[in-house]
Amino acid sequence: MTTLATAVQALEGLYPLRYAEDWDHPGLIVGDLMAPVERVAFAADPTAAIVERAIDWGADLIVSHHPLLFRAVHQVSGLGPRGDIVRRLNESHCALWVGHTNADASWRGVGMAAADAFGLTDQTPLTPIDDPTAAHPVGLGRVGRLPEPMTLRDFARRVYDALPMHPAGGIQVAGDPSMTVRTVALLPGSGDSLFDEARASGADVYVTSDLRHHPALDALEQARYEARMRACGVALGQGDANLRPALINTPHSAIESIWFSYALEDVPAAIEALGGARPECVWFRDVTDPWSLAITPAGEAEPVDGTDLAR
């Protein structure tokens, strides 16, 4: 039998909590450490619908990327949805473990999984973490190269095709669609706080999510200015006379969910390596981004129903 304690040990060996950002509080949120774990459900967000689906499937443990309790709370009562989710988890003997920024930074974690899916080679972390105990480079985001150059338009299509689900709105691109892309920086999740790091990496394009109007516009204006200066012979920024980096804005949960393609293999293997029985695992590919409809110049996109096949 595998206990929750063994499952947590396996998870935190793969995705160490010490890699989490200071403001983040991942790890075990709900659960009895001595309870058995035979079925594990993976999902981007622990919404009420996901929790009900996992309980109906018979999950003993939900592993989510996003926290249930993102900010400090003072009650988990029936006065709000989070308290109700905690109640349902406890009543159903289903634990919840969150791998957030610790999983972002880990080897075969969120950043690496996305970079691999986009075909990047020679990868390094965008913001490295100094961990002398790590066997591989770790840190937030990734920077890597494409085996063969391609246009921004073609690379954006590759990004879109690699997403495991496609929320309404698709992806947005800022930059010349015909520009050549060789080097890519990416940060799955909200990445407008790392524009300086993406620009310093020399990347041709920066792939992230949740780009807000003013920070994105400021980043593009900085890139345009530096390109103009380079065209005049002033060594400012990196690259040639073209705008760099271009921006690709992806649906938040979709790009981060690529991680589960690795976690589905790695977590059961880590549990077995600790002497536990290999649990049955499922990945719920529900669309948990909040938008359900997008209207574009090309017309109205099909509404998103919020669910996809479990894999």
Cα separations in angstroms, 8 against 34, 39, 107, 213: 11, 14, 17, 39
Q: Name the residue among 24, 105, 33, 32 with its Cα closest to residue 67.
A: 24
Cα separations in angstroms, 79 against 66, 67, 86, 228: 22, 19, 12, 56
Cα separations in angstroms, 250 against 73, 167, 171, 192, 233: 29, 10, 5, 12, 34
DSSP structure class, residue 18 = G
110-117 helix and 260-273 helix, angle to the nearest 10 degrees: 130
Task: Report whether 66 belongs to an annotated binding site.
Answer: yes
What is the separation, in whole angstroms, between the first and last Cα of the chain? 24
The encoded tokens of residue 16 equal: 């160490």
Length in residues, the chain: 311
Cα separations in angstroms, 166 against 41, 159, 188: 20, 11, 15
Task: Report whether 104 belongs to an annotated binding site.
Answer: yes
Q: Name the residue among 175, 153, 171 with its Cα closest to residue 163.
A: 171
Annotated binding site for a divalent metal cation: 65-66, 104
Annotated binding site: 65-66, 104
